[in-house]
Amino acid sequence: MKFREKIYSKLGKVPKGRVTTYKTLAHSLNSKVYRAVGTAMNKNPYGYPISSEAVRNRRSAIRGDSKRNSGFFLVPCHRVINVDGRVGGFASGTKKKIEMLKKEGVRVVKGRVDLDKYFYELK
């Protein structure tokens, strides 16, 4: 399994209403390449659809390798934040990321999430 696929698989374990960090996600895979985790989030072909165009793009990305993607799943990349609680970037914009987190019950105040309350430790 490629490193990105391992990231997506591990991230799929973070439940709704909780967040993890780029650093925690990397460490859970015995890695220190936090930037690679961020890049994987940005290139996520299994992201939650935000528009009909996003759905079409995701379907065409998934069609490329039917064996690997036969168990279609969504990767909640919006649940990955910075180690200091800042929401961080998002391919569809930070505003959209905050909206998605709030919809799942995560409170975001001044662009930050309370890690003591919402952090999910990946093992």
Active-site residue, from 7, 11, 41, 77: 77
**Is 51 a known active-site residue?**
no
CA distances from 123 to 33, 51, 68, 74, 78 (A): 17, 33, 24, 20, 19
What is the sign, positive or negative, of the torsion defined by CA atoms of 21, 102, 69, 53? negative
The label of the residue with tokens 């759905």 reads 55
Query: Which residues are catalytically annotated?
Result: 77
